[in-house]
Each structure stands twice: as structure tokens, then as C-alpha cells.
Chain A
Amino acid sequence: MLAYITPLTGGMLIGISAFCLFFFLGRIADGGGIVWGAVSAQPDNAWRWLFVVGLVIGPLLYHILLDIPYPQASTLPWWYAAIGGLLIGFGLQLGAGFTSSHGVLRIVWLSVRYLAAAVIFLSTGIATLYVVRYLMPGL
């Protein structure tokens, strides 16, 4: 259980950030939506860009101040990153945002919509990983 104190703390921080963003600005802390809003030049955009800046500086502070090593870089080939990124962005935007703390909030609202999405993306995610890791490891 002790090993999970760090992820539990991290999750609490994510929850606190989502709470603050919703409480102060009335916005959902949905990373993809905020990044998209920032680059697609929507009005009243400064807070989005600053949120993204925070997203980048936060982990830097975490690793430097607490002297925790960076996680190991992915050993997957670059085109996994390219296809993975393409599909994540496409799927997210097509489904119009259903994930991250956005998703967590929707669970709170007992949104059938989110739960359906979560069941679907966990299923395809588990299936994809299984195929890539065990069925065609040389891919």
C-alpha cells in the first residue's frame, strides 16, 4: 500500500487542480481541450496558455525539488508516438472531450455518456496493448 502513496497524492493534486479551475473559472480541467483551446486561438485565451506553461513547469519542479529521477524514456519506435498521438487527438476531438479529470467530473455527475466512453476506450486500449505487446511484439 505504501508504494501507492505517491500516485494517491498525485491523484489528489489533480483533483484539487480540477476543483480550483472549476470553482474559480468554471472550466473543466481537461488537458486536451485546454491545449486545443490554446493553439486554436480562442478568445480569452491567456489562462489556457498559462495552464499549459504550468503543465510543463510542474513536473520539472517535482523532479528537481524532490530529486526524483525522470521516468525511463519510451523504447517504442517513433511511429508509435506518431500514430498514437494522431489517434488520441482524433478520438478525443471526435468524441468531444470525455477524458481526464473531465471524465472524473462526469463520473460524479453519473453521466452514462462518460461511463460508456470509459468502458469503450479501456477495452480498445487493453486490446491494442495486448496485440502490440504479446501477439506481434516485433511490430
Chain B
Amino acid sequence: MRNIVGLLCGLVFGVGLAASGITDTAKTLGLLDVLGNWIPDLAFAIGAAACVILLTFSFIMRRENPLMSPRFLLPTTKFINGRLVGGAAIYGIGWGLYGYFPSSAMSSLVYQDWKTAIFLAAMLIGMTLANKIKEN
């Protein structure tokens, strides 16, 4: 059952990404182009996603645990530290350069552009490097 939930959630998420325009780098970069040709599609998508989660949030939190798992897994850190600031700054530069995110790059594999595979391979290398740094 848990696996079916995973598959269906990924499927709906993927359709959502494609419909939102998040798999279109012209639009993800367009959102950042506030001084030029601004494309606000993503702002609407993020807003809509936030609304759905806001509306369903109180409903979820009334429960003790999720339906098919022992507990809710949420990040516990609440601090703003150097790693968060540095990580966010670097992430933003990466966004501004190419316009893909981890999930949208995954979803864009179906468009069969070899540069997407390069993006994903580089992303995994970046994640590995960051983990190495965090361990030290």
C-alpha cells in the first residue's frame, strides 16, 4: 500500500509539475526575470499549491500519526545558520543558471534532452559533495 501511495503521489506530482510549467526552463527562468520579460506562471502554481496545503493542514495536524506510518517526519532544525544561508544562496545561483529543480529535472527526462541527464548527474555529485562537507 505504501508503495502504491508513493507511485500515485509521484504521478500526480509529475503531472502537476508539467501543467505548472515547472518543467519548462523558459518559465522557471522567466519567474526570475523581474527586470525584463517576467513570466509569472510559477507564482500562480506555487500560490495554488500553498493554498491546498493551507486548507488541508489543520485537517492533517488533528491526527496523531500518518495513516500508514508510525509518525510524521519533519525537519527538526529551526535555526538560521551559515549552512542554510550559504546553501540557499548557492541553490538560487543554480536556479538562475539553468532553471531546473531536482524534481522538475527528473520529470523532464521524458523530453529526452541529454542536457537534463547532465543536470541530474551533476546534481547528485553536488549532493554527495555537500554531504561530505557536512560530515566533517
Q: Which residues of A contact B (CB under 8 A)?
A: 4, 6-29, 31-32, 34-36, 39, 46-63, 68, 70-74, 76, 78, 80-102, 104-105, 107-108, 111-113, 116-118, 120-130, 132-134
Contacts and interface: CB of A to CB of B under 8 A. Distances in A.
Interface string B86-126: 11111111111111111111111111011110111111111
Q: How large is the interface on B (under 10, 10 to 19, 20 to 34, 35 or more residues)?
A: 35 or more
Nearest to A94: B87
Contacts of B133: 94
16 contacts: A15-B50, A18-B53, A22-B60, A53-B7, A55-B10, A55-B14, A59-B110, A62-B15, A71-B26, A72-B24, A85-B100, A89-B94, A104-B46, A108-B54, A120-B88, A120-B92
Nearest to A68: B18
Given A10-B21, A55-B103, A124-B96, A129 B32 contact: yes
Interface of B: 2-27, 29, 32-36, 40-42, 44-54, 56-57, 60, 63, 65-75, 77-80, 83-111, 113-116, 118-127, 129-131, 133-134
B73 A27 contact: yes
Contact of B44 (A11, A56, A125): A11
Nearest to B40: A4
B52 to A, nearest CB: 3
A87 B73 contact: no
Contact of B121 (A51, A85, A102): A85
A35 B105 CA distance: 11
Contacts of B124: 36, 39, 89
Nearest to A57: B11
A113 B122 contact: no
Given A25-B5, A85-B105, A92-B126, 10 more contacts: A10-B18, A32-B123, A49-B6, A91-B89, A91-B91, A96-B75, A108-B54, A117-B88, A121-B88, A124-B90
A20 B49 CA distance: 13
B10 A53 contact: yes
The 5 closest A-B pairs by CB, nearest first: A58-B14, A54-B10, A31-B103, A95-B87, A15-B52
Contact of B66 (A10, A24, A52): A24
